[in-house]
Structure 1
Amino acid sequence: MVIKRVVLGGVLVLLALVVQVSVLGRLQLPGATPDLMLLVVVGLALVWGPSAGCVAGFSSGLLADLAPPSDHAIGRYALVLCLMGYAAGMLRAEPGRQRSVLVPLVVVAGAAVVSTVLYAAVGALVGDTAARHVGLTGLVFSALLYDLLLAPFVVPVVMLLARRIDPGSLGEMSGSGLGTLARYRTTRDPSAVGPSARKKRVPGL
């Protein structure tokens, strides 16, 4: 399963990088650039958890740092996406528990705002004052708007592919949890067992 995750994650990240650099980066939109890489990392993290989200975020961020026409310090974007992937993975739904379809949008909104602020803060530490000249408020608002507009078309697809490539990760955990709960109820709650078993426990029956 690890190999399948690596292959799928690599394909999605490379595809997102190509689209972001060759298409989204050339739109010359006001404010920030739509962050397709962030959406892919969030989608993978919401299915595979914090560890996989952290690895996917660092890998995709490092590729973006190295890909032209990158003009910032190497590792800056990798740090941001690594933290966003880990944080999004911490919000993964528990096995067997259903969540609202709005949860990924809320996670994307939070990641868009935090990642923009964090990227600007790291840039300020290394002497990059571009965010100060453009205006941090405008960057945060535009990043939030663009990412929320793209999220319904990207995040659900990424999550669906992640579940299909590794269906056992949720199924095995869910089955294990249900089995443990059933065994606990059988041993601790007499009402959880059948009538014949209850008769054997009651004297005189």
Structure 2
Amino acid sequence: MSEFIKITQANESIKNSLDLSYAIKLDALNALFAASRGDERGRGFSVAVSELVGFSKFFDQTTADLSSRIERNLIAYSELVRYEHRYRLFVRGCSLAGDNEQITRWHAEADRRFSRAQRDHRLTKKHFLLSVRNTLKQCLQSKIISLRAKIESSYSEGGSEYQEFLQRIEDNFEQIMKTLKSIEKQFALQANG
């Protein structure tokens, strides 16, 4: 599969994760609203759900960062492809032109530019991969918070009302984590390959 397609698919997956984050925020706000009508025992639940709302806001920023990094990855790859094409044409032209001091200097400059484009592309992939891994860790922490909220809801009056929200939140976290793990695996293979 082409690198362009992989990068585009990763970008679409990140956008889908952002949609799931909005759903988490909405469910968390609904659960928070429902908890505000509850008893004193619902306070622990309210605190945990408030943390989920905070995570969702933070995840929005993190996702914007991932989108920015994937865009830089695409730009770096486009630049690499452009330099690779020019480099091949230049090498072919040099072989036809023969040995000339000016051509040798141009050839050395073309080598440097091509090497720099390769290095830039590798670095942007590594930075993106690091961001994906950090986001995955944040999701895991937030999933733990959602599980804590689930436990707190069992002690609250009307806790069964919260379970529906919390189950959707948990399912959305699972989907986000699955998506991020898939992206991580794909880019880790590329970084090693």
Length-normalised TM-score, structure 2: 0.32
Q: Work out which structure has the larger RCO, using CA pairs closer than 8 Å and 6 or more positions apart in sequence.
A: 2
Q: Which has the higher helix share?
A: 2
